[in-house]
């Protein structure tokens, strides 16, 4: 039966061998991951956020472990667009997973500039917009928290992205995530990914200082999983299902059964982040576990499972 199971997915017009992606910022530009596993087993690979100019990121310490996850305040450290094209793209071109470039910036023009430079690259299947960044032109408020800004950035980038898939990555730090999701879809997003991290803090009680030099960081890992499952289900029911916009479900996935929860909730594919730090080859087990689950439950095609929450 296992051989008869089809876990390939059509994700916004892109054929994925399976529904498993790595999440942005957790596996660099793929060459880092190649030391630990065969990257070609993945359905998709999402790069670390790329900005026009290189960024050093925040001072250290910028990572701390928590009870059921971790906080990071990397601050979008990255090599910048020129070096990405020169050094990383040739490596990504050799890989079989669908490659998404995660794009970040401080103004809409920044995002558009990255996408315009990369749009003609054959190796790139699409772009993931990290809209959790502060918009310096509009007083430093995150792009992703106001529907009008989400619509503006999505339509500007969609124009630049042409035929490439545009996936908008939603922040959970909003009152109603469906309002943001709808704004993105109506402005031209081909897919949605959710969720990004939650802002959080850890304090050293001896020094009474925050452990991270940046004070706050983004919480990821198993601690956020049930919230992420809920938000994926909400966005699926209220926006994606009727619009036909696929969801990449992200947040605390460690195992195949976690991934399957997201798919039942409404995700067409899943992204694995923090789990890669604990076990770099975990995605291989997750892919095989999804296949086993389908075989055990006589699901011939993984697509049948998306959005099948009962009751
Ligand atoms: C160390 C680290 C760096 C990250 N860097 C980025 C990034 O550059 N861009 C982005 O959109 N998300 C970034 N994220 C967020 C992840 O892609 C993901 O949305 C989040 O961690 C939740 O998934 P997880 O619980 O599986 O890690 C980062 C997460 C971590 C832990």
- Ligand 1: atom nearest CA of 275 is 26
Q: Using CA atoms, how far apart are residues 128 and 100, in angstroms rounded to an integer?
A: 6
Indicate if the alpha-carbon torsion angle 232, 163, 24, 45 is positive or negative.
positive
Task: Name the band, by pLDDT with cuts 50, 70 and 90, for residue 134.
Answer: confident
Residue 6 backbone phi and psi in degrees, to 5: -110, 110
**Whose C-alpha lies nearest to ligand 1, atom 6?**
25
105 CB near ligand 1 (under 6 Å): no
Q: Say how many Å lie between the CA of residue 300 and the centre of ligand 1.
A: 32
Cβ neighbours for 195, distance < 8 A, ≥ 6 positions apart = 170, 171, 172, 177, 224, 227, 228, 231, 232, 250, 251
- Kind of pairing, strands 63-66 and 44-46? unpaired
Structure-block tokens of residue 168: 């908008």
* The predicted structure's pLDDT at residue 4: 85
What is the spatial distance between Cα 151 and Cα 40, in angstroms, rounded to a whole number?
Answer: 34
Residues 268-293: tens digit of each pLDDT = 999 999 999 999 999 999 999 999 99
- As a whole number, mean pLDDT of residues 78-105 equals 97
Answer for the pair 137, 143: CB distance below 8 angstroms, yes or no. no
Provide the pLDDT for residue 32: 87
Beta strands at 198-201 and 216-220: parallel, antiparallel or unpaired? antiparallel
End-to-end CA distance of the chain: 28
Q: Per residue in 201-244, pLDDT tens?
A: 999 999 999 999 999 999 999 999 999 999 999 999 999 999 99
User: Does the global pTM surpass 0.75?
Assistant: yes
What's the whole-number mean pLDDT along residues 151-162?
98
Q: What are phi and psi of 217, to 5 degrees?
A: -150, 175
- The active-site residue, picked from 27, 133, 282, 294, is 133
- Give per-residue pLDDT as tens, 8-56: 999 999 999 999 999 999 999 998 888 899 999 999 999 999 999 999 9
Split at pLDDT 50, 70, 90, the class of 3 is: confident
- Structure confidence at residue 135 (pLDDT): 84
Centroid of ligand 1 to alpha carbon of 26 (angstroms): 6
Q: Is the CB of 276 under 6 A from ligand 1?
A: no
Ligand 1 atom showing the smallest separation from residue 46 Cα: 17
């Amino acid at each position: 039966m296992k051989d008869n199971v089809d876990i390939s997915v059509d994700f916004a017009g892109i054929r994925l061998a399976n529904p498993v992606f790595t999440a942005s910022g957790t596996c660099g530009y793929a060459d880092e991951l190649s030391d630990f596993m065969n990257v070609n087993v993945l359905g998709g690979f999402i790069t670390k956020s790329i900005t026009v100019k290189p960024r050093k990121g925040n001072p250290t310490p910028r990572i701390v472990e928590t009870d059921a996850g971790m906080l990071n305040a990397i601050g979008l450290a990255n090599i910048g667009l020129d070096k990405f094209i020169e050094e990383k793209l040739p490596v990504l071109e050799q890989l079989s997973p669908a490659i998404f470039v995660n794009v970040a910036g401080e103004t809409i023009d920044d995002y558009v500039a990255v996408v315009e430079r990369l749009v003609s690259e054959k190796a790139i299947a699409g772009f993931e917009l990290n809209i959790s960044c502060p918009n310096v032109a509009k007083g430093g408020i995150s792009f992703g928290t106001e529907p009008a800004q989400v619509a503006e950035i999505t339509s500007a980038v969609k124009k630049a992205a042409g035929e490439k898939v545009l996936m908008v990555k939603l922040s959970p730090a909003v009152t109603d995530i469906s309002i943001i999701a709808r704004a993105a879809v109506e402005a031209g997003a081909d897919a949605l990914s959710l969720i990004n991290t939650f802002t959080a803090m850890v304090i050293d009680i001896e020094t009474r200082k925050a452990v991270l030099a940046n004070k706050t960081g983004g919480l990821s890992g198993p601690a956020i999983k049930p919230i992420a499952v809920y938000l994926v289900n909400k966005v699926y029911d209220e926006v994606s299902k009727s619009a036909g916009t696929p969801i990449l479900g992200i947040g605390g996935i460690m195992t195949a059964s976690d991934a399957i929860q997201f798919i039942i909730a409404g995700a067409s594919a899943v992204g694995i982040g923090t789990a890669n730090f604990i076990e770099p080859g975990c995605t291989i087990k997750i892919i095989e576990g999804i296949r086993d689950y389908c075989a055990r439950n006589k699901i011939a095609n993984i697509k049948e499972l998306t959005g099948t929450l009962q009751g």
